[in-house]
Amino acid sequence: MAIWKDAGSKDPMTPVTPIRETAPAPTPAPDAPAPRPRADLKESVFAAGLTFEGKIEGTGHVRLAGRFKGDVNVDGTLTIEPGAHLAGSVKAGSVVVGGELEGNITGATRVELQQTGIINGDVAAASLTVAAGSRMRGRVEFGWGEGGAPKG
């Protein structure tokens, strides 16, 4: 095993620069398992032109483009498309309103009221985003933790 550089150098005393092999940096072990992203949930779509009545409950995402009368209770995201109408209370992980909602929203971590959205009811959520041009009639509480204390 030669430690001297032979090729490209006339001087036999010029040392060869050894190649260092570096091991990949160890990844730190997480202290606690990360929460599962809600992207793993399936989405149910209720198409435009449909009118139905009842109750929606489950762990998936729901996209409403038609008309629905009844309560919605889902762990995922409820999306009310522009032109859609929902008459009933909503409890969901997050709610996106582009259509019309006649009812209250409770227990949501995020509510987004889009430019075409209308809410006629109360909203209680961790965060609220309101686009210019949207309309709402009701009472709003956001940014508050358990027991009425401000988050922070």
Q: What is the mean pLDDT of each run of 10 residues along the chain (152 residues)?
A: 53 54 49 45 88 93 96 96 97 97 96 97 96 97 65 57
**This prediction's pTM:** 0.70
Query: What pLDDT digit, counting tens, does each position of 129-150 carry?
Result: 999 999 999 999 999 764 444 5
Predicted local distance difference test score (pLDDT) of residue 41: 76
- How far is it, in rounded angstroms, from Cα 72 to Cα 89? 6
Predicted local distance difference test score (pLDDT) of residue 110: 96
- The residue extents of the domains of the chain are 42-139
Pairing of strands 140-142, 43-46: unpaired
